[in-house]
Amino acid sequence: MKKEIKIICTLGPASMKDWVIARLAESGANLLRINLSHTELQDLADIIRFIQNRTSVPICLDTEGAQIRTGNLLDGKTYLRENSIVRVPGYAVPGDSHNLNLYPMDIINELEIGDFISIDFKAVLAHVVDKESDCVVMRILAGGLVGQNKAVTVERDIVMPPLTMKDREALAIGAEMGIGYVAPSFMSQASDLDKVRAISGQDVFVISKIESLRGVTNLEEIAAESDALLLDRGDLSRQVPIERIPRLQKDVIHRARKSGAKIYVATNLLESMITIPSPTRAEVNDIFNTLNDGADGLVLAAETAIGAYPVHCVTMVSRIIKQFLDFPNGYSLEELQRKDFFLLVEPHGGILANRVNADFDTKNIKGCKTIKVKETVLSDAEQIAIGTFSPLEGFMNKKELESVLRDYRLPNGEIWPLPIVLQTGKEEAQKLEIGDKITLADENTGKEYAILYLDDIYTNDLDRMARETFGTDDLNHPGVQLLKKQGEYFLGGKIELIKRWPSEYKHFEMTPRQVRTIFETKGWSKVLGFHTRNVVHRVHEHIQMAAFEKYNCDGLFLHPVVGPKKKGDYCTGVIVKSYELMIDKYYPEGKAFLSAFQSYSRYAGPREAVFTALCRKNFGCSHFLIGRDHTGVGSYYGPDDARKLFDYLGDIGIVPIFFGEVHYCAQCNAYIEQCEHGSRNILSISGTEGRKMLASRESPPDWFMRKDISNLVSDELEKGSEVFVR
């Protein structure tokens, strides 16, 4: 059984948001910490309620403890000039460079002339030079910028009570509100714990913070009265030179584990990620070595409380923990070479297929048999090769096809809904033999793009296949038409891609590996995929953003189909331009990414809805939008058919998000599925209607399509650009 390593996240301004709390929980946070040093007592109950209403992840109250801090400053910070005199009164003053408070205020009674005082982790060094009845006078020996509520260290050990009055009141509030975890600061002896449990309850889980030399000295007795220990390397470095902290950390962890106590480690784990989305190598190494020392948990503080990338930080720690636990004996060469996408869902079947041979020597195809095929076949071959159709590695043999048609599964049990086959005529098939290496060439240019390693030649009843695939054998169905035209023989076998299909928009056609790399670079782990063959209209935009917000997604993956289309469909160029415009002006900044899908519509309704979802799973999407008539045509499929098939198949590793027919209500001025207002106010929006209006030079109203988008299409038509497939 693997060791459980906890991730404790501190909440603050950067993370006290609905979607961030949800994402922290999903990314691996086990405990959410409220730092009482940075929380006003009057706000505490509301903060606890806010968190409890949004997640079941437990909350931990982290006390201020026996610590001296700077008081409030007029501008939140001030510069203390070297050799200047600063007065520290025992009453409240507007803090500045000449007068400031220390907290608790009565601490000045404990200070003595000659004391050296470090402020804000040694940003400033001061010397007590005089004492008055209600004031201490300090001379600044080393100047610098200090902030309010920052740590202050007196060189001489001053004994302070383990809990402040604020701590006592906060723990009492926590006990009333069911808080089950507390982390008392600066625990220096076992008896300190009695005071904590007296307020929080005997059953509370106490994580005693070791952050002083007295705490280190008395570690075993503190461990005996605690449920866990927390080594705070930051506060400890106020008393211990920083170069001694690594060795001391190993010693503290060893002693804690020997005492039978859980031990967590805090401070500066991912400090660089407060401002940038990636850690330094030193930080990753520090975390790994901390785990290797034996730590049972890791604490993120500023990284998740005030940093710009709180979710990135948790996912990064989760990634490091996974590597530590999954590879206790190191890596094999194969494991080192394999690209893992930890943040993202696994590819369908567990691994992305790769049948691309970029170094293929064309001399090797001399003497091979060649068959000329349509663009649709070469499109399928390319998507198989780059991993879009994973786990497929070639065109289906008879056993695979029958299994998919009958059970929606491959013979190995992996869900797969749609035939991916290579058809040919009888005359062509009779020239071939199993074991042949066959080049697949474009029927128009004769250029070779792939090799088929033939392992099966078979026939099939096309009418039966049509009914099982499309639910009909009606020749008016475009999918049935295509099936019947391609020939009654089928060729099965693995493929090898030797050249990608050329396209004006090839730079948009990224492979699943490339897209996954982009998602990981952006720190996205919850990605919403969207499949379309239309220019974007208002309903598309509405369902995209409604799903994006409801499921707390990190990114929106816009993936329009750019392969062969039927007459009247939008051409690739105008679709791409419409989404580029949307990303530039309307989608949340940095949250949408556009790529192109070199494929074509089969119009297979429910089967194709599952197929398009699995393809986006291979690109790294965790969620996928299923529209009212997703990949359907005419009236061949009912509005709930896709949902029924997803329900029948169960969990496929990507979450389908269903929308019914969304209308615009003029009375509500909103896009909704149902409304109480009369039919006069309910206005329909569809891609088909949009194409008809624009093709006839009619500009759709703004509620139907953004003016920027309709103007873009109109401008392209005026320029004579090919906007619709002829």
* CATH number of the domain that residue 519 is part of: 3.40.50.620
Active site (catalytic) residues: 532-534
Range(s) of the domain holding residue 101? 68-154
37 and 72 housed in the same domain: no
Give me the pLDDT at residue 638, please: 87
Residue with the larger pLDDT of the pair 566 and 403: 403
Sheet containing 655-658: order of strands: 592-594, 555-560, 527-532, 623-626, 655-658
Give me the pLDDT at residue 121, please: 74
Give me the pLDDT at residue 672, please: 86
175 and 147 housed in the same domain: no
Mean pLDDT of 38-66: 95
> What's the mean per-residue pLDDT of the chain?
92
Helix, strand, coil in percent for the chain, rounding step 5: 35, 20, 45
Q: Look at residues 446, 478, 497 and tell me which one is the last residue of a structural domain.
A: 497
Query: 487 in a domain, yes or no?
Result: yes
130 and 173 housed in the same domain: no
Does residue 82 register a pLDDT over 70? Answer: yes
- How far apart (Å, rounded) are the C-alpha atoms in residues 203 and 648? 45
Residue with the larger pLDDT of the pair 139 and 331: 139
Query: 42 in a domain, yes or no?
Result: yes
- How far apart (Å, rounded) are the C-alpha atoms in residues 677 and 665? 8
Query: 664 in a domain, yes or no?
Result: yes
Query: 393 in a domain, yes or no?
Result: yes
Cα separation values, 543 from 65, 271, 551, 569, 616, Å? 49, 37, 12, 22, 17
480 and 529 housed in the same domain: no
Strands 59-62 and 31-35: parallel
pLDDT level of residue 103 (50, 70, 90 thresholds) = confident
Query: 279 in a domain, yes or no?
Result: yes
Give me the pLDDT at residue 726, please: 83
Mean pLDDT of 582-611: 95
467 and 449 housed in the same domain: yes
Give me the pLDDT at residue 628, please: 73
pLDDT level of residue 678 (50, 70, 90 thresholds) = low
Tokens standing for residue 473: 């054998």
Amino acid residing at 627 = G
- How far apart (Å, rounded) are the C-alpha atoms in residues 472 and 466? 6
Mean pLDDT of 147-157: 87
DSSP annotation of 570: B
CATH number at residue 184: 3.20.20.60
Mean pLDDT of 675-693: 79
Give me the pLDDT at residue 665, please: 87
Does residue 124 register a pLDDT over 80? Answer: yes
**Collapsing DSSP states into helix, strand and coil, what is residue 565?**
coil
User: Could you give the angle at the alpha carbon of 635 between the alpha carbons of 632 and 637, nearest 5°?
Assistant: 55
Give me the pLDDT at residue 30, please: 97
Does residue 356 register a pLDDT over 80? Answer: yes
Give me the pLDDT at residue 679, please: 67
Tokens standing for residue 424: 């040919």
The least confident of 220-224, 502-506, 707-711 is 502-506
621 and 473 housed in the same domain: no
Burial of 159 (0-12, 13-18, 19+ CB in 10 A): exposed
Report whether 597 contacts 508 (CB < 8 A).
no
Q: Look at residues 154, 174, 200 and tell me which one is the last residue of a structural domain.
A: 154
Mean pLDDT of 612-636: 90
When mean pLDDT is compared over 72-76, 404-408, 717-721, the highest value belongs to 404-408
581 and 705 housed in the same domain: yes
Give me the pLDDT at residue 372, please: 95
pLDDT tens across 535-564, in order?
A: 999 999 999 999 999 999 999 999 999 888
Task: Tell me how many domains the chain contains.
Answer: 4
Mean pLDDT of 665-669: 86
- How far apart (Å, rounded) are the C-alpha atoms in residues 329 and 258? 24
Return the percentage of the chain with pLDDT > 90, whole number.
Answer: 75
Length of the chain: 726
Mean pLDDT of 15-26: 93
Give me the pLDDT at residue 451, please: 95
Cα separation values, 254 from 212, 220, 329, 502, 672, Å? 17, 11, 21, 61, 60
- How far apart (Å, rounded) are the C-alpha atoms in residues 348 and 383? 14
Tally of CB atoms within 10 A around 586: 14
Burial of 548 (0-12, 13-18, 19+ CB in 10 A): buried
Tally of CB atoms within 10 A around 333: 7
521 and 389 housed in the same domain: no
pLDDT level of residue 66 (50, 70, 90 thresholds) = confident
pLDDT level of residue 341 (50, 70, 90 thresholds) = low
Q: Look at residues 154, 186, 203 and tell me which one is the last residue of a structural domain.
A: 154
435 and 543 housed in the same domain: no
- How far apart (Å, rounded) are the C-alpha atoms in residues 237 and 249? 11
Query: 397 in a domain, yes or no?
Result: yes
**Widest Cα–Cα separation across the chain:** 109
Does residue 92 register a pLDDT over 70? Answer: yes
Mean pLDDT of 237-252: 93
60 and 74 housed in the same domain: no
Give me the pLDDT at residue 446, please: 92
Give me the pLDDT at residue 359, please: 77
Q: Which residues are within 8 A (CB) of 200 and not within 5 positions of it... i.e. 6 or more apart?
A: 171, 174, 175, 179, 182, 206
125 and 237 housed in the same domain: no
Give me the pLDDT at residue 339, please: 67
Query: 339 in a domain, yes or no?
Result: no
Report whether 140 contacts 124 (CB < 8 A).
yes
Tokens standing for residue 307: 């940093």
Query: 187 in a domain, yes or no?
Result: yes
108 and 136 housed in the same domain: yes
